[in-house]
Structure 1
Amino acid sequence: MQSAMIQMCPICNSTEWKIEYEGPVRDGVFGKYDDGTVWRCIDCGVSHLPPRQSNLEDYYQSDEYREDVGEKADPQDFFSRHDDEQFDKARFLKGTSIRGKVIADIGCAGGSFLDVAKGLAETSIAIEPGKSYHASLRERGHRAYSSLAAASEEWAGKVDVAVCFSVIEHVNDPVEFLTSIGHLLKPDGVLVLSTPNHRDALLEFSGDPYRSFFYRWVHPWYFDEDCLRSASIKCGMTFEPHYVQRFGFANFAAWLRDGKPTGNDHGAALGSVFDDVWKSTLESQKKSDYLYGFCRPAV
């Protein structure tokens, strides 16, 4: 275990950290663990698990990441696993027209969300370090780039809508990452991002069995609303939170009883109305399992 954290927080520049968690950390799929230490910044509250990879850029450009999380670095495998998630994500663009606009998906992998948006958008930009997806992305009409820097050469200040789903927790420096996205946006543009919520109710009620699942070696960073807002402000953007509970009560109960996930395979444990109330209650208390943010360039 690491005895001390010697690193400046990218959000608040503090060098004061305390141990948030020590113990088994999920290493890819459920059931595979390796011991680690998660540190919490005393000043802004962001938490950090120092990555094992010396170069995260190389890691995500290779196929190693997808293999580590039990997937294949193959477009068809991505479609089979993630296509059904895209329409749920699209609802977060309600009130944000993409017709005739330039939309960018940062960390898009196989590009399923861009496929949904492409029929309305004028231009769809795929920013994805995994080179195994690029040929397919281009064949389907998307402008593919391996990095934000590469995309910025052509699209700085030209993007109307950027989306970034479940990516910011993976990066080396979240402030640098958000700043780079901000450079792509038009003055009236918007970034919609998502990340696991560090106020997730199961972290409070389930204890260590869930913590060892929640913390992952592929996630160096863990955010709640406050530290994500601080990061956005530091990057010159406003931040509006939105809470989303993806899993129903049956999954919550399984963690308390068995210390393992069931997902949503068992449906609503006590009926759909109960499950809807359960989810909305967690969302209103800011204890849902996922946190969305709407970031806009500050005027």
Structure 2
Amino acid sequence: MPEVKESSELTTPGEHSGKVLDTVGAVDVIECEGCGFAHITPIPSDKELSEIYKEEYYTEEKPQFIDCVKEDLEWWNSVYNDRYDFLESVLSSGRRRILDIGCGPGYFLKRGVERGWNCSGVEPSRTAAEHAQGLGLDVKNAMLAEAALAESTFDAIHCSEVMEHIPDPLSFLTRAAALLKPDGIICCVAPNDYNPVQEILRDKLGYKPYWLAPPHHINYFTPDTLAGVLKNAGFGVVSRTAMFPMDFFLLMGDNYVGDDTVGRACHARRKKLDLLLGESKLKGFKKELYELMARHNVGREIVIYAQKEDRR
């Protein structure tokens, strides 16, 4: 993957070049030398992305998503509890105001309210935002750049499965940093792509790069490249962890690629493992296991906690 560069070394917007990793139709995936992470080129326009996420994403691309979240809510709440537990461990007791960027149907925020947090969200999809608002949550139906939010307002920001969709991650994270109070924390979650397990699947078992999903997924991060963008946006990494490596099922012969029935069955097994470990004496082991995976670039999703730095 490309070397992570300091912000002063980055190319100007629109200048993207590097080794072509893959081609999907008319789209190349490149190791961008200027950005310091892999992304597609050409990058969709703001107008194209607005059309996708405001109206189409939850109705055409993922019409079953909200129902699946409801079905999986016990597991999702365990995931959310882990994230809130970490945030509460590093923030003082009086700091409980959080913004969820790309909050989807709102269940992360709902869990936060139940834990005593002051929660707000931003969500571009009208369908998802209305669902979240129906839960009684403070959610703006807008892209982050359109949302009227005051700087230095929030103690924490949650940004899960959003970074892969953003045309300019550095500007996005710089805006997020501005919204945080001094020493505020961001929890940033993104798919872990071009990871070592995927390399085995591709090189040894003949899998095509199933993780590529243009134009919806623009960017393809590793733990190091995501940490690098956070650093360039004014954050210092506090902790890295991962989520269960779903790719392991492929190694073991359960081919869920393009098969939702097999995929849901594999997901059910992952949920059971996570819940049983998390509710047992092995909860600490589970935490250490996922942190170890992150150190080896293993895990289907990267989870990075980073703190806003004072760069005056």
Cα-to-partner distance string for 1:248-279 (whole Å, 9 max, x where unaligned): 68604245x8584753455699xx99xx7986
Aligned residue number for residue 57 of structure 2? 65
- Please say if 1:55 is aligned against 2:66: no
Structure 2 counterpart SS, 1:58 = helix
Aligned residue number for residue 147 of structure 1? 143
Cα distance in 1 between the residues matched to 2:268 and 2:156? 33
List gaps (5 residues or longer) in structure 1.
1-8, 24-33
**For residue 196 of structure 1, what is the amino acid of its counterpart?**
P
Which stretch shifts more, 50-59 or 124-133?
50-59
Q: CA deviation at 1:219?
A: 0.4
* Pair 1:215–1:154, CA change in 2 (3 A): closer
Aligned residue number for residue 221 of structure 1? 219
Cα distance in 2 between the residues matched to 1:139 and 1:70? 20
Q: CA deviation at 1:205?
A: 0.1
Q: CA deviation at 1:243?
A: 3.0
Aligned residue number for residue 16 of structure 1? 17
Confirm or deny: 8 A CA contact 1:157 1:184 kept in the other structure.
yes
* Pair 1:228–1:11, CA change in 2 (3 A): farther
Structure 1 counterpart SS, 2:103 = coil
The number of equivalent residue pairs is 274
* Pair 1:19–1:154, CA change in 2 (3 A): closer
Cα-to-partner distance string for 1:163-211 (whole Å, 9 max, x where unaligned): 0111110111111111121121111211101001135232210117545
Cα distance in 2 between the residues matched to 1:280 and 1:220? 26
- Please say if 1:92 is aligned against 2:93: no
Output aligned runs, 1:256-267, within 5 Å: 260=257, 262=263, 263-265=266-268
List gaps (5 residues or longer) in structure 2.
1-6
Q: Which has the higher helix share?
A: 2
Q: CA deviation at 1:143?
A: 1.5
Q: CA deviation at 1:10?
A: 11
Q: CA deviation at 1:44?
A: 5.5
**For residue 20 of structure 1, what is the amino acid of its counterpart?**
L
Which stretch shifts more, 161-170 or 131-140?
131-140
Q: CA deviation at 1:150?
A: 4.5
- Please say if 1:293 is aligned against 2:304: yes
Q: CA deviation at 1:22?
A: 2.5
Output aligned runs, 1:70-81, within 5 Å: 70-72=62-64, 78-80=69-71
- Please say if 1:183 is aligned against 2:182: no
* Pair 1:121–1:58, CA change in 2 (3 A): farther
Confirm or deny: 8 A CA contact 1:247 1:264 kept in the other structure.
no
Aligned residue number for residue 237 of structure 1? 235
Cα distance in 2 between the residues matched to 1:298 and 1:118? 27
* Pair 1:96–1:78, CA change in 2 (3 A): closer
TM-score (norm 2): 0.73
Cα distance in 1 between the residues matched to 2:44 and 2:155? 36
Q: CA deviation at 1:69?
A: 3.1
TM-score (norm 1): 0.76
Cα-to-partner distance string for 1:126-182 (whole Å, 9 max, x where unaligned): 11001123334334332211232454x344211111101111101111111111211
What's the % identity of the aligned pairs?
Answer: 19
Q: CA deviation at 1:43?
A: 5.3
Cα-to-partner distance string for 1:2-50 (whole Å, 9 max, x where unaligned): xxxxxxx999226431101135xxxxxxxxxx67421111355411123
Confirm or deny: 8 A CA contact 1:11 1:231 kept in the other structure.
no
Instruction: Give the RMSD, CA atoms, in angstroms.
Output: 3.5
Structure 2 counterpart SS, 1:71 = coil
